[in-house]
Structure 1
Amino acid sequence: MSRTQTAAAAPVQQSPISSRTGFLLLQLGLIIVAVISVIVAVALGQVDIPVADSYRILLYHVTGIRIGNVQELTSGSNVSIIWNIRFPRVLLALLVGAGLSMCGTVMQATVQNPLADPYILGISSGASLGATFSILVGFGASSLLGQTGLAFWAFAGAFGASMLVLTLAGIGGKMSSVKLVLSGMVINALCTAFTDFIIYFANNAEGIRSVTFWSMGSLAPAAWDRLPLVAIVVGCAVLLFLLQFRILNTMLLGEEAAVTLGVNLYFYRRIYLVLTAVVTGVLVASCGTIGFVGLIIPHLVRGLVGSDHRRLMPTSILIGGIFLVWTDVIARTAIPKAELPIGIITAMIGAPLFMYMLVKKGYEFGGK
């Protein structure tokens, strides 16, 4: 084996699920779990609905297959709750979880640090700054454009933050993964400070309450008219990054090996940061800031299927979606007649896992 081949093989952690058949069975199992999770999740809430009823209602509205009385499937409070309120919310949770996990996986490879995610690199904070500006200032853009205006400002903030990170990391020499992480931490603090500045001086009590609840993350605003934008952006990004596994694997090798293999890491880093900024901006505009999903899920999945992005990416996307569906169920049902912001739940779950990773030093790509 040549030196280049040896270097290319070394950083990629071997998967405990070594066979192709085992991996395909895992993907099939996760898809089945995702479908079951959606059916069960729409039945759970402040008003409990039998799982069998939720299954029949969803089956009829999605496929047209009728099981039972037509009137029970088309009218009544259960139909309204499931189809108009909970089902769009569960689908949004699935999309947001998948998108955040995907962004986290890409960012960890881009900066060669498995503890990176859009939040740590300042992209989420930039999106939050843009969305806060839209809600509390906005120059009328939000009232004219509605959700599209909020998404635009959130994307603008995320894009601006990513450009600042790239610029700062490239000052004074060659861009490196360490400089990217440190630059992200600086931009994160800067965007957070400007967000707090806007909130402090805003003369809009209702807007401040909205920003406060929204900054903790919530899927409560989910509706059918909000799903198309999120679905299109996340769907296109998923399709793209599923095909980028070779470049993502090459990023794990480091600068010198990438040059030897003829891969321009500087170019791909900029492209990937911009694309993750687009996805993060849309997700933050849709449901606020939800932390730890993009940080924890890819790392846990890496221990299951290895660090080869051919397997890591699809598995992270599926598990991230499933995780956020059930996290939202906890947020909706933990307190009677009340709802917790989902960002609180993800932080309560993710922070202990993050500390465990640090204590065990299991945060390197090779698992050592």
Structure 2
Amino acid sequence: MGDPPISFQKKIGNRIPYIPGTKPSIQNAQLLTSLGVPSFDAVVGGGIPVGTVILIEEDTYGTFARLLIKYFLAEGVVSGHALLCASQDIDPEHLIQELPSPIESDHSFCSGGGPEEKMTIAWRYQNLRSVQSSPGGLQLGHHFDLTRIMPPDMLKDVSITSWNGPAEGNNNMIGIFRNPLYAELLEYVRNKINAGQFDFSAIPDKRNLLRVAIHSIGSPLWDPTSGEDLLLFFYSLRALMRSSYAVCMVSVPSHILEDMPMLKKCIHLCDTAVKLESFSGSDKETNPVFRDYHGLFHINKLSAINTLACHVPDSFDLAFKLRRRKFVIEKLHLPPELQETTQREQDEIRVSAMGCGAPQKQLLEF
């Protein structure tokens, strides 16, 4: 018998490999992984696409950006991913030892419950839809408790490597970089991808994901004398991520960089870019309008891979707050007018006086 008709031939396509801690997007079939903060995943489209680079513009003191990196690495430990942590400002080993501990699914914790967190604003805000942690229905990320440190037993079964500077006697530098730190780190990431068989062309026994966390790149300890090295690093880093099962989170101290056009170019070379604007040390810290939050969350760029348009969140007016046990990103709800009782009484007296036609007197006389 000859070959079957074309309409009856079995179609064989490239199947998406199963990797723990990932799921395909229902919009564009792109493989997504969690950032470790469910509310963060929701605003960027359900997760971060595999093979991309996310840029975090640090807050003034870098506290919240460092916290997001901990969440990112802690999610990798729970999912069984390989980790690579790099920094010049702090010891990466010390950062890994401070990862938050995962918790079981708790309704009161996940919903941000508790009498102290119940909304006390006007009734018209009570029915507003809150940010869903997993729009697709399937919970991708995990919840972590900031008051507890991850047990060391959980770190034993995970491949964790750290980088805090060039190794002594290593002369295998990329000649196109002026600063050897960028060249060494880029070569270190490439060797990690090749050794762990994270490249698309590799055929490992079990496919896994590599998470790369780079803390505060471009800070004074990186000797940022040449902005061209930083741009070239982002260009080469994204090329490495595109050709491998890996995802990278990079934090940049944007408040230190004086060259704003260079920062915009760095954002252009990344796939997702957000900015953390902390209220610490600013006039907004004492402003009663923002008393329920610790800073604003700005979205500068969202990835658009396998699609013509990127994900559009429900609102771009976002803020973040740090509770005792968790970090939350939500819509910015400003307090309604006439909230204080004293202000209400003064306004009612003023309106009553104007209604009776006696603007000089505040009390009614009969």
TM-score (norm 1): 0.25
The one of the two structures with greater contact order (alpha-carbon pairs below 8 A, sep at least 6) is 1
Structure showing the higher helix proportion among its residues: 1
Name which one, 1 or 2, has greater alpha-carbon Rg. 2
TM-score (norm 2): 0.25
Structure showing the higher strand proportion among its residues: 2
